[in-house]
Amino acid sequence: MKEELLSLTPQELTETMRALGEGAFRGRQVFSWLHKGASFEEMSNLPKALREALAGRYDAQPVSILDTVTSKLDGTVKLLYRLRDGHVVEGVLMRYHYGNTLCVSTQVGCRMGCAFCASTLEGCARSLTAGEMIGQIVCANALLASRGEQERVGNVVLMGSGEPLDNYDNVVRFLRLLREEDGLRIGMRSVSLSTCGLVPQMRRFAGEGLPVTLSLSLHAPNDAIRRRLMPVAKAYAMDEVLAACREYIDKTGRRAIVEYALVRGVNALPEHARELASRLRGMRVHVNLIPLNSVPERALMGVSEAEVAAFLGELRARNISATRRREMGDDIEGACGQLRRRYLQENRE
Ligand code: SAH
């Protein structure tokens, strides 16, 4: 396979251009083109011989769109992307009044094994490169442009398939590329990183100087329940996870989000809400209650709206900031990993 350029920083691209006998300014030119989604052929301010030399050695765009499904209700778009080695990952483009948010995948599948999640059913095939994460945004931007939209992707949530902190170096590289002046220019305040709670990586990430919003997938008020839903809870106790979350909040000055999917018969009773409130007391967090998307392969069920409201009421009565997550694209398969699974099943037969 050819080498990929989209993972490189402007400085690294400058070195690459120098090695080809080109002037240093070519690095920034190529960087800017790549992040606009251009092929080498389209890089009109480069000499033809250079474009051909690059095309012979490198792939300009490591991601392409395989399929899209658009919601008639709210314009949410589910995207299925193809990577160069034939793997597929998915994403969701959400249209909010404040702009376009893209949900980006960080791995092909996931090895964290959460009981409710479709992304983990077949384990993790591999981690994505930084360029493959950038490439998802580049593809979504091209889709928006092709539909005559003025705005591009302005916000990014690392909530697609994969555990971002299990692909630490590539994710950090991706975040640094994201804010480049000649690239996508997406600032860290417009990014959320969701983690199942890998404590050492959370601590390390707090020191990177990348003040994204940390989203912690907690899903339980205590260790016993958390271990039933999330194998990672066997490695790290909730106290440690919450301490690492506090450290992140203190170092970055940013409020964190606690994700909590309500699962019938497991974590959704009023007493669980009260226990959660006591665990989170004094922390600068907002709780996002997620109605469970049931995954046919998993025998877990969500709860009724009345139960969501009761849970929310218990939290608010204890001064915990909380909301029920708005569902997007209810008429398309909005849930984690499900479009991809269907695609894989259909293409296996
Ligand atoms: N690995 C990261 C990010 C990926 S998932 C993490 O664990 O946070 C993004 C969010 O969707 C997580 O909070 C995850 O727990 C949640 N999620 C996964 N499957 C779900 C389902 N079936 N219903 C509701 N939320 C789900």
4-37 pLDDT per residue, tens? 999 999 999 999 999 999 999 999 999 999 999 9
Asked if domains 3-59 and 63-348 share a fold, the reply is: no
For ligand 1, whether the C-beta of 292 sits within 6 Å is: yes
Q: pTM score, two decimals?
A: 0.95
For ligand 1, whether the C-beta of 241 sits within 6 Å is: no
For ligand 1, whether the C-beta of 79 sits within 6 Å is: no
- Ligand 1 probe mutation, 94, 119, 194, most atoms within 8 A of CB: 194
Percentage with pLDDT > 90 across the chain: 86
Q: Where are the domains of the chain?
A: 3-59, 63-348
- Asked if pLDDT for residue 335 goes beyond 70, the answer is no
Cα(258) to ligand 1 centroid in Å equals 11
Is the separation of the CB atoms in 16 and 5 below 8 Å?
Answer: yes
What does 5-74 look like in DSSP terms, one character per residue? -TTS-HHHHHHHHHHTT--THHHHHHHHHHHTT--STT-TTS-HHHHHHHHHHEES-SEEEEEEEE-TTT
Q: Ligand 1 atom closest to Cα of 219?
A: 15
Helix (H) / strand (E) containing 276: helix 270-280
Q: What is the pLDDT of residue 336?
A: 54
Span 174-183, mean pLDDT? 98
Q: Distances from the Cα of 281 to the Cαs of 156, 257, 319, 320, in angstroms?
A: 28, 14, 8, 7
Q: Distances from the Cα of 2 to the Cαs of 5, 88, 316, in angstroms?
A: 10, 19, 54
Residue with CA nearest ligand 1 atom 9? 159
Q: What is the pLDDT of residue 333?
A: 63
Cα(231) to ligand 1 centroid in Å equals 14
The β-bridge partners of 103 are 92, 157
Q: Ligand 1 atom closest to Cα of 291?
A: 24
In the CATH hierarchy, which top-level class contains the domain 63-348? alpha beta
266, amino acid identity: V
Cα(240) to ligand 1 centroid in Å equals 20
Radius of gyration of the chain (CA): 21
Q: Distances from the Cα of 274 to the Cαs of 166, 226, 233, 247, in angstroms?
A: 31, 16, 20, 24
Cα(290) to ligand 1 centroid in Å equals 9
Q: What is the pLDDT of residue 293?
A: 83
Placement of tokens 């992040």 in the chain: 35
For ligand 1, whether the C-beta of 259 sits within 6 Å is: yes
The phi, psi pair for 127, rounded to 5°, reads -85, 150
Q: Ligand 1 atom closest to Cα of 162?
A: 1
For ligand 1, whether the C-beta of 116 sits within 6 Å is: yes
Span 64-81, mean pLDDT? 94
Cα(334) to ligand 1 centroid in Å equals 12
- Asked if pLDDT for residue 229 goes beyond 80, the answer is yes
pLDDT: which is higher, 347 or 7: 7
For ligand 1, whether the C-beta of 261 sits within 6 Å is: yes
Q: Distances from the Cα of 178 to the Cαs of 30, 78, 139, 225, 330, in angstroms?
A: 16, 22, 14, 37, 29
For ligand 1, whether the C-beta of 13 sits within 6 Å is: no
Residue pLDDT, tens place only, 299-330: 899 999 999 999 999 999 999 999 998 777 77
- How many CA atoms are closer than 13 Å to the CA of 161, on its beta-carbon side? 30
The β-bridge partners of 107 are 127
In the CATH hierarchy, which top-level class contains the domain 3-59? mainly alpha
Residue with CA nearest ligand 1 atom 22? 293
For ligand 1, whether the C-beta of 165 sits within 6 Å is: no
Residues catalogued as catalytic: 90, 336
